[in-house]
Amino acid sequence: MKFVVIGGDAAGLSAASKAKRMYPDLDVIVFEKTFDVSFSACGMPYNIADPLRGIDDLVVRSADVFRNKQGIDLRLNHTVESIDREAKVVHGRSDGKEFSESYDKLLIATGARARSLPLPGMDLPGVLTLRALDDGRAMKRYLAENTVRSAVIVGSGYIGLEMAEALCARGVGVILPEVRTEILPWLPLEMSKLIIEELECKGAQVMLGVDLTEIRRTDKGLQVVTRDSRLDVDMVLIAVGVEPRSELAANAGLALGPYKAIAVDKYLRTSDPNIFAAGDCADAFHALTGARVWIPLGLRANRTGWLVAENLLENKTEAPDIVGTAVFKTFGYEVARTGLSVGEAETAGFQAVDTYIKSRSRAWRQPGAEDLWVQLVADRSTEKLLGGSIVGKEGAAHRIDSIAVALHAGMSVTEFFNCDMAYAPPFGPVWDPMLTCANVLLTNLKKASTAEKPPIMEP
């Protein structure tokens, strides 16, 4: 039996490696369009912050390890261009030469690409994105070969805010023009303001409500043009999110889901039973709504790769639903979220009630204690916990996992409040901030339920 994998990063090589362990005699072929496999994309901002580190430090396992130690036929610089589902053959090109390969089972693990903007100037030298390892190489090379004193970062999501810290660490003045009137709109406004204050305190300039129109090349370098201003800088990073690489699947007639991600069932099978999809190119089911969603995150990519291998010969293991747990760091702050924001909950049909509190990361008078903000979201009618977010200079990143577990367990706010959590003064107050927030939310739920009950009408 021949198992062909398209894509040599997290999902693709996780599937290939586990399949080879489970079935040593399986013929496993992996096609990777670049020369890079198995690298930590999430580590790029931290690598770029250090001019002495090479970008190849982020390679977790070399291609030769997969070939020589695991027996995987890993072919670099091989771009698959089409899938013939009827003949069960993939066609592609490498170094200008065409190739074809038959398969019994196929995995599409083509990942995601950085989104661009439909504006003039996106292709100018010095206008960069950050997704693949080659993007990181290009940025480190640009920083090394040019005098970069200032940069505009378009996009204030995870990558944009991580790169704001990285560039500031290299002495680059950073400007963040944001089209919205806030950043991180899934956070309560007061919590997102903390991040803006931190950015500006560290030297980055945040501009809200700014609508970009184009990027120009000038005698001075690059000019980012908005409706109200001109920003002259030496570099521009476009960090407005990612989109799934699903064209190969779409051209083969496979069904697509949200954001044109490849639609898969619980066993990671596409609409063709002989073709799987996993990682950032594929969709998932949300644990709270049951709806198809596309939330590309690292753990999901690795996990679904494993599960494809388990389900290769028969449906053995369902992929768990997701709640979208994520965390990132920008300067001194950890920012974490899981589940549904208020807006997402209302869109899904819930009657969302939320609250946020300010507490401390350690017990009273403990040295090093920092302020910690916790938000929880629940459904008014059922009191079911729907989501949460945490912001603080310590204690946010791992606390969010407790809320994620509660979401997977379908807990109510009361059940979460009653959880037996650890306490020691160096790690938190006796009433953990999450429990304090849950207690306040219970009060708010009762108030909301009482205030909004419809009047009893006489017949």
Separation of alpha carbons 78 and 76, rounded Å? 5
DSSP state, residue 155: -
Q: What are the structure tokens assigned to 94, written together?
A: 């490498």
Amino acid in the structure at residue 400: I
Amino acid in the structure at residue 42: C
- Determine the number of helices (DSSP H) and then strands (DSSP E) in the chain: 12, 25
Q: How far is CA 326 from the centre of its chain?
A: 7
Choose the catalytic residue: 42, 201, 281, 437: 42
Separation of alpha carbons 293 and 440, rounded Å? 30
* Strand partners for 4: 29, 106
DSSP state, residue 43: G
Specify whether 168 is catalytic. Answer: no
Decide: residue 210, CB within 10 A, 0-12 exposed, 13-18 middle, 19+ buried.
buried
Q: Tokens 């979460």 label which residue?
A: 416
Separation of alpha carbons 428 and 432, rounded Å? 6
Q: What are the structure tokens assigned to 384, written together?
A: 């079911």
- Please answer whether residues 349 and 371 qualify as being in contact, where contact means their C-beta atoms are separated by less than 8 angstroms: no
Catalytic residues: 42
